[in-house]
């Protein structure tokens, strides 16, 4: 197997200081191989977002091994209303990561934005608009484009389709799958929706109370859950269908 793009070994993490210091992640271990999609499922508050933040270096109070072998991993957030700057145009939002990466030539930035647009299903006409003038699905496409434009290969997706309705969900999931193939990306895909995880992910890790209680191929875990918590999650999601 190639060197993993993310390797986490016995990771613990805390929030707060002094008396308020509270442990969130407990002894978490996982690996993400290049080109792989790993799903993280679990109830609200189980530490899924915290795990993603650790990978991004946004949580500093940690102990254990955390190796990220990919420059500038990026995140796509759940709420496309909050993740795009309301005061800026789409064109500006997509050029800004390039500016930050030191691409000073405006024509070069425009060219790279223009190349990426069709890949995420946006048109040149969208560039002059502000986020408020886009639909939820279009906003999420902009957020995905912004995460990709610096050429990052590791993308963390924190409930990227939860705020969208079902048809849009399917479209964005298909887009994510296509982008992964075309650009050779790896995803850490966080969701509380087991059906969505099934569509996109190769492997899945089940979290509860800050621990990973089960991890394996999506098919294996879904067909033969070993941990009672996984069984409970699966039963709950079946009951919804």
Partner 1 sequence: MKHKSWYLTIGGILTACMLAFTAAGLFWTPYSPTAMSAPDRNAGPSAAHPFGCDQLGRDILSRTLEGAGSTLTIALAVLAVGFVFGLLIGALCGYYGGAADALVMRLCDAIAAFPSVLLALVVLAVIGPGKYNVIGALGVLFIPSFARLVRGEFLKYRDRDFVRSARLMGVSDLRIIFVHILPNTWPTLLSGLTIGFNNAVLGEASMSYLGIGVNPTEPSLGYMLKEAQGFLFTTPWYTAFPAAIVILLILGVGLIGEGVRERMGVAS
Ligand X SMILES: Nc1ncnc2c1ncn2[C@@H]1O[C@H](COP(=O)(O)OP(=O)(O)OP(=O)(O)O)[C@@H](O)[C@H]1O
Binding site residues, Mg ion, CB under 5 A: 49
Of 3-11, 38-46, 67-75, 144-152: span binding ligand X (CB under 6 A) = 38-46
- CA 224/CA 73 separation, integer angstroms: 33
- CA 100/CA 212 separation, integer angstroms: 36
82 near ligand X (CB under 6 A): no
- With CB under 5 to 8 Å by kind, the binding choice for 192 among ligand X, partner 1, Mg ion, none is ligand X
Phi then psi for 27, rounded to 5 degrees? 50, 50
What's the per-residue H, E or C state across 148-215?
Answer: HCCCCCEEEEECCCCCCCHHHHHHHHHHHHHHHHHHCCEEEEECCCHHHHHHHCCEEEEEECCEEEEE
Cα angle vertex 181, ends 180, 185, to 5°?
A: 35
47 near ligand X (CB under 6 A): yes
The residue within the footprint of ligand X, chosen from 28, 36, 38, 50 (CB under 6 A), is 50
The residue within the footprint of partner 1, chosen from 39, 42, 47, 97 (CB under 8 A), is 97
- With CB under 5 to 8 Å by kind, the binding choice for 44 among ligand X, Mg ion, partner 1, none is ligand X
Which residues between 143 and 202 bind ligand X (CB under 6 A)?
192
111 near ligand X (CB under 6 A): no
Residues within the interface to partner 1 (CB under 8 A): 56, 58, 72-75, 77, 79, 82-88, 96-97, 99-101, 143, 146-147, 150
């Amino acid at each position: 197997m190639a060197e993993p793009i993310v390797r986490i070994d016995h990771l613990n993490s805390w929030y707060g200081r002094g008396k308020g210091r509270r442990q969130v992640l407990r002894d978490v271990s996982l690996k993400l191989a290049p080109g792989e999609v790993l799903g993280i499922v679990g109830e609200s508050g189980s530490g899924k977002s915290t795990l993603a933040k650790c990978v991004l270096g946004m949580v500093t109070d940690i102990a254990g091994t955390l190796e990220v072998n990919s420059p500038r991993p990026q995140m796509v957030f759940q709420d496309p209303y909050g993740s795009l700057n309301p005061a800026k145009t789409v064109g500006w939002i997509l050029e800004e990561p390039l500016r930050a990466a030191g691409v000073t030539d405006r024509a070069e930035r425009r060219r790279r934005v223009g190349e990426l647009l069709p890949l995420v299903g946006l048109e040149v006409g969208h560039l002059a608009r502000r986020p408020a003038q886009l639909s939820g699905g279009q906003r999420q496409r902009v957020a995905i484009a912004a995460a990709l434009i610096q050429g990052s290969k590791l993308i963390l997706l924190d409930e990227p389709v939860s705020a969208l309705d079902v048809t849009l969900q399917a479209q964005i999931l298909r887009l994510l799958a296509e982008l992964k193939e075309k650009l050779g990306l790896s995803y850490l895909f966080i969701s509380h929706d087991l059906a969505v995880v099934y569509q996109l992910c190769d492997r899945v890790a089940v979290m509860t109370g800050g621990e990973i209680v089960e991890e394996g191929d999506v098919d294996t875990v879904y067909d033969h859950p070993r941990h009672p918590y996984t069984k409970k999650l699966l039963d709950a999601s079946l009951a919804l269908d």
